[in-house]
Amino acid sequence: MDRLTNTIRPYAWGSTTAIAELLGVAPSGEPQAEMWMGAHPGAPSRTGRGALNEVIDADPEHELGTAAVAKFGPRLPFLLKLLAAGAPLSLQVHPDLAQAEQGYADEERRGVPIDAPHRNYKDANHKPELICALTPFDGLCGFRAPGETADLLEALDVDSLKPYVDLLRAQPEEAALREVLTAVLSADPEQMAETVTEVTAAAQRLGGVHEPYASIAHHYPGDPGVIAAMLLNYVQLQPGEALFLGAGVPHAYLNGLGVEIMANSDNVLRCGLTPKHVDVPELLRIVRFEATDPGVLRPEGSSTGEEVYETPIDEFRLSRFVLPEGAAPHDLTAATPQILLCTAGSVRAGELTLEPGQSAFVPAGEKAEVSGVGTLFRATVVA
């Protein structure tokens, strides 16, 4: 197996301390948002044999296994990350596979440059994802019931919100959510900024269930995404709990450190909390306008000690091992590619010792025995 050297992305919303603390190094003073583990060409992990994407390109069937290549093609179909949010990420949604293929083909046909700021589709793949909390982790996930949102907005006692409250109470669920989100994102920017200012003051005064939105507004003053965020379920994960984000589900991460895994894609449609481009018509085509339970996931244990986070996605499978002192070694040898990530303690993986934040790539079929005392996340595919 190969020890991985990984790139840390310095996005502005990143925590200045969380990843450094996990790695046991001094903070740099700069935001450290994501550490990427995988073969994404934007920041591939490095091995003793070269960049991981180049290693895989040289012999896909040896590195990934014949079953994975047959199902997903000659590429690693997932990207594993450490994600450290010190401020809210953009409110966003991801397309399903058919929507991604259609959107990418359309923008290619129209000659939209791949790096254009108004480009929506960087590839033809979907981007389901799973976030597992390592610390208490706050986020927004899926629409809450319209009546509950109406109560939340009404309590703020802001006149300009009253039309939204009326729509949420009077219309059927799908129509109510669609009409209110459309109205928020299409409103006059100056008038919306005034509304957000009033909402912020009221949310600060009321506190309680309104406090998270006051915090969001502190980071994004005047942004219509503050109102859009109030349409969504607020979720607090405890360490070990996870959220699965499927296609069409609006979401945002607000604060905390977690392990994230996703299909290998860059396709994001933004709804707000960002200075970046928001394509309202395309966004409205992608969003699923239905109230949903966030569906907090807890790992399902087995007799082998492996705790699996079950999802309906084949491109990735995330599990963890909590290794106690004196436990027998675990044989993780598999016919599929794997990335192993230590998040606590000290874990022996083959000939490598992994400390918190360290990771390894295990080619398909490679012997992989792990032991030690600590927590190990295992990322692979279902092939």
State the Cα–Cα distance between residues 29 and 49, nearest whole angstrom: 32
DSSP reduced 3-state for 43: coil
Strands (E) across the chain are located at 2-4, 7-9, 34-37, 46-47, 50-51, 78-85, 91-93, 129-133, 137-143, 232-237, 242-245, 251-263, 269-272, 307-309, 317-323, 330-331, 338-349, 352-354, 359-362, 369-380
Overall residue count recorded for the chain in this entry:
383
Which residues neighbour 271 within 8 Å (Cβ) at sequence distance 6 or greater? 90, 91, 92, 93, 181, 185, 225, 228, 250, 278, 283, 287
What amino acid is encoded at 21 in this protein? Answer: E
CB 314 within 8 A of CB 383: yes
DSSP letter string, 331-351: E---SS-EEEEEEEEEEEETT
CB atoms within 10 A of CB 371: 15
Token output for 141: 């996930």
Is residue 298 annotated as a catalytic residue, yes or no?
A: no
Q: Which of 75, 270, 317, 378 is catalytic?
A: 270
Q: Which residues pair with 28 in a beta bridge?
A: none
> CA dihedral defined by 288, 290, 292, 297, rounded to 10 degrees?
-20
Torsion region of 21: left, alpha or beta (phi above 0 gives left; psi -120 to 50 gives alpha): alpha
Could you give the angle at which helices 173-186 and 146-154 cross, rounded to 10 degrees?
A: 50
Point out the residues that are catalytic.
270
